[in-house]
């Protein structure tokens, strides 16, 4: 592989809402830089970057894909990221390791939800950005309208046009470079070839106006140039470029350009702009991590001869090729066929071959250094979020906080005996997608799969089938109701007597039953004083009560928050046994619960909803309609965060409803809080449904 010095490397990513043309832009870049012999297209499944069957079928990006190319003596590492909410975690993980972000917005569109989200990620990781207005050949495409919308949404980093389109909609045929006042006229054959000409006369007035506004914006980046400009002196092209670069790298402005990726118009000027305005790994500066032993903040300068530091930001799980670990090197270097130290796991890993990735293609290289984004296969211990470092000078980079799952489904295998296979396969998928959560509900016994959204869960199910040959059914999870008692009952007596010829069964149990405070669990008291019951039968009585508590008298749900006192009974020297006392205890307990005012309990969740100001009334009203209690509302920029307690049964299908009410801009988290009594009218319905379900189970 040709070696590039760090100052000739650019690490970039494409980000934006789904469907705005990010992958099409990447395909045009790969074609124009000679990495692909034809212009790949998402719609016909020929895209290099969207290569997974799930992506080809849906015609959307689901996973972040890597590519590399050379342009004007520079090496680019490029990450193409998904833009739909269900897969936006891939964009955040990628933003963490790039030095420049191309924010893509359709020319016939506006700033949508996930564009806001990725813009926030760029702020979080302090990543400079360029605005690329795509689809300029489509109906109602309007470059300046999109730029104004971006400026309105993100006023602290205003978008500054550095290009202007030539023609519009079907007649779009090129761009004017406002910096050098050159016009790029493109061929209509999709070859990407163009001619440089003078600015068309009909555009000169608008181009001059926009150029003047651009100069006004960029000279603000330099006090001396501002003075020069105010004195009406001419600002040179070189000075404009210096200020534009400074403003972009300091994240004080965002250069705005345009094009049509599917017609291959505007790609080359964008590539030139990325070299001019995005920092190299050296210019990006030192990476901050923590000392493994002391926890103190330490820096890693981007030097090849420095100690190794690299961050693993993505894992690809493949049942045939094995696991691929993708990482960015911040300092030092790695050779193929060597050993590296994983400072987070405190283990050494054997590195075999090092790969450059281009979609699913892997190009082996023998060496990787500062700024390189590469992959290695079949590491045993390393997972996403780990750090490679020098063993004698270890450092750990912080993990990326990814979006939490918002929706859960119960999984059941279509083939009997596949449960273990499901668990193993989901563990492999979790390696490549940390945003899924897999668990088992102890009470219901269901395998639960949680994801960011419904499409996310559906894609996981498709991957289970394609990659691991496991087919499952999805269903709404069962609510883990419980039962308890409101009152107490003393002197409950039950005699178990059975005579079948020969040795019989005899046991008599006397119990007191009372309720405990919520979350009190189960208390058993041995209150025997006489010798009516031998003490060796006491454990059998306690065991019988514990078993009886697994299935309550109302609907068969577990019984909780109960105290039982075993104070007397009767025994027979021949017919009494542990089994007899256990059976007597079970029946005595059920009899007592029936007479102590049994009630149904439901799990209540602690819910935090973040929604835009304009939707907050609808969101609170909806939570109230779900029997929720709003506890607190906090302002968070243009959003508000609501804390509430809501019954779990009302939250099972909340995610799509929240999306609908907030236009996809609302998010929520949910965790178990406590149990509360179910209102009587609802309890009747739950009990009736539970009995129906049991009858069906018996029939099947």
The answer to the question of residue 237 being in a domain is yes
Statement: residue 286 has pLDDT above 90? yes
Range of the domain at 583: 482-596
CATH of the domain at 264: 3.40.50.300
State the total domains in the chain: 5
Name the 3-class secondary structure at 14: strand
Q: What is the pLDDT, as a whole number, of residue 295?
A: 85
| Tens of pLDDT, residues 209-242 | 999 999 999 999 999 999 998 888 889 999 999 9
User: Do residues 87 and 174 share a domain?
Assistant: yes
Written as one string, the DSSP assignment of 612-642 is: EGGGHHHHHHHHHHTT-EEEEEEEETTEEEE
CATH of the domain at 514: 3.30.230.10
| Tens of pLDDT, residues 521-544 | 999 999 998 889 999 999 999 999
User: Do residues 125 and 257 share a domain?
Assistant: yes
CATH of the domain at 433: 3.30.70.870
CA distance 172 to 136: 7
- Which range of 251-265, 287-301, 659-673 scores highest in mean pLDDT? It is 251-265
User: Do residues 274 and 164 share a domain?
Assistant: yes
- Which residues fall within 8 angstroms of residue 664, CB to CB, at 6 or more apart? 85, 113, 114
The answer to the question of residue 352 being in a domain is yes
The last residue of one of the domains, among 252, 284, 316, is: 284
User: Do residues 279 and 293 share a domain?
Assistant: no
pLDDT band at 700 (very low <50, low <70, confident <90, very high): low
pLDDT band at 504 (very low <50, low <70, confident <90, very high): confident
pLDDT band at 204 (very low <50, low <70, confident <90, very high): very high
How far are the Cα atoms of 430, 436, 472 from residue 457, in angstroms, in the given order? 12, 8, 12
Q: What is the pLDDT, as a whole number, of residue 1?
A: 60
| Tens of pLDDT, residues 105-126 | 999 998 988 999 999 999 999 9
User: Do residues 614 and 574 share a domain?
Assistant: no
The rounded radius of gyration (Å) of the Cα atoms in the chain is 33
CA distance 240 to 211: 10
**pLDDT-wise least confident of 35-44, 351-360, 476-485:** 35-44
The last residue of one of the domains, among 368, 396, 424, is: 396
Q: What is the mean pLDDT of the chain?
A: 92
Give the residue-averaged pLDDT of 16-22. 93
Q: What is the pLDDT, as a whole number, of residue 519?
A: 87
| C-beta of residue 201 within 8 angstroms of C-beta of residue 208 | no
User: Do residues 204 and 72 share a domain?
Assistant: yes
pLDDT band at 268 (very low <50, low <70, confident <90, very high): very high
The answer to the question of residue 38 being in a domain is yes
CA distance 560 to 556: 12
The answer to the question of residue 699 being in a domain is no
The answer to the question of residue 386 being in a domain is yes
Residue 439 burial (CB < 10 Å; 0-12/13-18/19+)? exposed
User: Do residues 149 and 237 share a domain?
Assistant: yes
User: Do residues 423 and 303 share a domain?
Assistant: no
Instruction: Report which of 131, 134, 202, 210 is spatially closest to residue 167, judged by C-alpha positions.
Output: 202
User: Do residues 516 and 466 share a domain?
Assistant: no
pLDDT band at 593 (very low <50, low <70, confident <90, very high): very high
Q: What is the pLDDT, as a whole number, of residue 238?
A: 95
**Which residues are registered as beta bridge partners of 647?**
604
User: Do residues 59 and 12 share a domain?
Assistant: yes
pLDDT band at 663 (very low <50, low <70, confident <90, very high): confident
| Tens of pLDDT, residues 406-437 | 888 989 888 877 888 888 889 889 988 999 99
Question: 319 versus 516: which is more confidently predicted?
Answer: 516
pLDDT band at 507 (very low <50, low <70, confident <90, very high): very high
pTM greater than 0.75 (yes/no): yes
Give the residue-averaged pLDDT of 588-597. 96
The answer to the question of residue 298 being in a domain is yes
CATH of the domain at 327: 2.40.30.10
| C-beta of residue 318 within 8 angstroms of C-beta of residue 324 | yes
**Percent share of the chain, pLDDT over 70:** 99
Q: What is the pLDDT, as a whole number, of residue 321?
A: 65
User: Do residues 28 and 92 share a domain?
Assistant: yes
Statement: residue 131 has pLDDT above 90? yes
Q: What is the pLDDT, as a whole number, of residue 691?
A: 87
Question: 7 versus 250: which is more confidently predicted?
Answer: 250
Q: What is the pLDDT, as a whole number, of residue 443?
A: 82
Residue 182, φ and ψ in degrees, nearest 5 = -115, 150
How far are the Cα atoms of 252, 421, 474, 577, 635 from residue 415, in angstroms, in the given order? 58, 11, 14, 43, 50
| Tens of pLDDT, residues 458-491 | 999 999 998 888 999 998 898 999 999 999 999 9
User: Do residues 466 and 420 share a domain?
Assistant: yes
How far are the Cα atoms of 26, 82, 192 from residue 44, in angstroms, in the given order? 16, 18, 20
CATH of the domain at 611: 3.30.70.240
The answer to the question of residue 238 being in a domain is yes
The answer to the question of residue 452 being in a domain is yes
Sign for the pseudo-dihedral over CA of 516, 521, 523, 524: positive
Q: What is the pLDDT, as a whole number, of residue 418?
A: 80
Statement: residue 365 has pLDDT above 90? yes
The last residue of one of the domains, among 450, 475, 500, is: 475
């Amino acid at each position: 592989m040709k070696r590039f010095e760090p100052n000739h490397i650019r690490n970039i990513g494409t980000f934006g809402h789904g469907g705005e043309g990010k992958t099409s832009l990447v395909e045009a870049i790969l074609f124009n830089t000679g990495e692909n012999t034809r212009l790949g297209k998402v719609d016909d499944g020929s895209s290099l970057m969207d290569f997974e069957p799930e992506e080809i079928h849906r015609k959307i990006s689901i996973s972040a894909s890597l590519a590399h190319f050379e342009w004007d003596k520079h090496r680019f590492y490029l990450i193409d990221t998904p833009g739909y909410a269900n897969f936006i975690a891939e964009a955040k993980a990628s933003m963490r390791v790039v030095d420049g972000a191309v924010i893509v917005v359709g020319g016939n569109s506006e700033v949508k939800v996930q564009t806001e989200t990725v813009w926030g990620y760029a702020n979080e990781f302090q990543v400079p950005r360029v605005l690329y207005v795509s689809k300029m050949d489509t109906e109602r495409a309007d470059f300046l309208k999109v730029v104004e919308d971006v400026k309105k949404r993100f006023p602290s980093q205003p978008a500054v046009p550095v290009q202007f389109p030539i023609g519009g909609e079907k007649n779009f045929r090129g761009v004017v470079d406002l910096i050098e006042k050159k016009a790029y006229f493109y061929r209509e054959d999709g070859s990407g070839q163009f001619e440089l000409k003078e600015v068309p006369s009909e555009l000169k007035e608008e181009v001059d106006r926009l150029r003047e506004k651009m100069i006004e914006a960029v000279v603000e980046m330099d006090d001396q140039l501002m003075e020069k400009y105010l004195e009406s002196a001419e600002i040179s092209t070189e000075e404009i470029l210096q200020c534009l670069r400074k403003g972009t790298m300091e994240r004080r402005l965002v250069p705005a350009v345009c094009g049509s990726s599917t017609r291959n118009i505007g790609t080359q000027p964008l590539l030139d702009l990325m070299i001019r305005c995005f920092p190299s790994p050296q210019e990006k500066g030192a990476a901050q991590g923590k000392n493994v032993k002391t926890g103190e903040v330490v820096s890693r300068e981007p030097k090849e001869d420095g100690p190794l530091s690299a961050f693993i930001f993505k894992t690809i799980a493949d049942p045939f090729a094995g696991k691929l670990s993708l990482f960015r090197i911040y300092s030092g270097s790695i050779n193929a066929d060597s050993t590296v130290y994983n400072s987070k796991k405190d283990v050494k890993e054997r590195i075999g071959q090092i790969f450059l990735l281009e979609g699913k293609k892997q190009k082996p290289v023998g060496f990787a250094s500062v700024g390189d984004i590469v992959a290695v296969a079949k590491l045993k211990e390393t997972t996403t979020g780990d750090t490679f470092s020098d063993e004698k000078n270890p450092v750990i980079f912080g993990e990326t906080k990814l979006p939490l799952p918002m929706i859960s489904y119960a999984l059941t295998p279509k083939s009997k005996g596949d449960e273990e296979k499901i668990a193993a396969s989901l563990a492999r998928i979790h390696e490549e997608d940390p945003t899924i959560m897999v668990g088992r509900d102890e009470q219901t016994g269901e395998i639960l799969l949680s994801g960011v959204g419904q499409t996310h869960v559906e894609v996981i199910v498709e991957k289970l089938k394609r990659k691991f040959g496991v087919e499952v059914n999805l269903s709404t999870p069962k609510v883990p109701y419980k039962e308890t008692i409101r009152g107490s009952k003393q002197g409950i007596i039950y005699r178990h007597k059975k005579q079948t010829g020969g040795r019989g069964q005899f046991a008599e149990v006397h119990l007191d039953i009372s309720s405990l405070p919520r979350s009190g669990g189960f208390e058993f008291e041995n209150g025997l004083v006489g010798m009516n019951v031998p003490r060796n039968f006491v454990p059998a009585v306690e065991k019988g009560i514990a078993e009886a508590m697994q299935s309550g008298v109302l609907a068969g749900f577990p019984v909780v928050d109960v105290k039982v006192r075993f104070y007397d009974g009767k025994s027979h020297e021949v017919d009494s046994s542990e089994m007899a006392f256990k059976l007597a205890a079970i029946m005595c307990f059920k009899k007592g619960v029936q007479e102590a005012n049994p009630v149904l309990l439901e799990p209540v969740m602690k819910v935090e909803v973040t929604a835009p100001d304009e939707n907050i009334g609808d969101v609170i009203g909806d939570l109230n309609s779900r029997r929720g209690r709003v506890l607190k509302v906090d302002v968070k920029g243009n959003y508000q965060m609501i804390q509430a307690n809501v019954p779990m049964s009302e939250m099972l299908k909340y995610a799509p409803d929240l999306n609908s009410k907030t236009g996809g801009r609302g998010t929520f988290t949910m965790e178990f809080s406590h149990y509360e009594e179910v209102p009587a009218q609802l309890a009747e319905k739950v009990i009736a449904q539970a009995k129906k379900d049991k009858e069906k189970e018996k029939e099947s």
